[in-house]
Amino acid sequence: MARFISLLNWTDQGIRNAKETINRAQAARKAFESAGGKMVDIYWTIGQYDVVVTFDAPDSDTAYRLMLATGMQGNVRTLTMPAMDEQAMSKILQGLS
C-alpha cells in the first residue's frame, strides 16, 4: 500500500458545519476502507491548514478517487501528496549512483 498525506482546508460550507467534523471523519474512514484503503491518522490543526490526514491506498488511482469523492462533498479542499517512510526511501536511495 502507498501512503499519502492530505492537507485540508474547510470551505465556507465546511466551517458552517464544523460541529459535524467528527461524523464526517468517521464516514471518511468507512469510505476509505470500502475503497481498499485505510485512514491512518487525522489531526485538526490551527494555521494554514484546518485538517491533516494520513492514509494508505492500494495505488494512486484509488487515492485520487478518494480525494475527488471527499472534495465533491463540498466541505473541504484538499492538497494531497505521496509520502515515503524510511524503508521506502532507503530502497530509492540504493538505486542512486
pLDDT digits (tens, 9 = 90+) for 38-94: 999 999 999 999 999 999 999 999 999 999 999 999 999 999 999 999 999 999 999
pLDDT digits (tens, 9 = 90+) for 16-45: 999 999 999 999 999 999 999 999 999 999
CA distances, 97 to each of 85, 86, 88, 93 (Å)? 21, 19, 17, 9
Residue ranges and CATH numbers for the domains of the chain are 2-94 (3.30.70.920)
- Per-residue burial over 17-51, b if 16 or more Cβ lie within 10 Å, else e, is eeeebeebeeebbebbeeeebebeebeeeeeebbb
Using the structure block, give the residue that is written with the C-alpha cell 492514509: 55
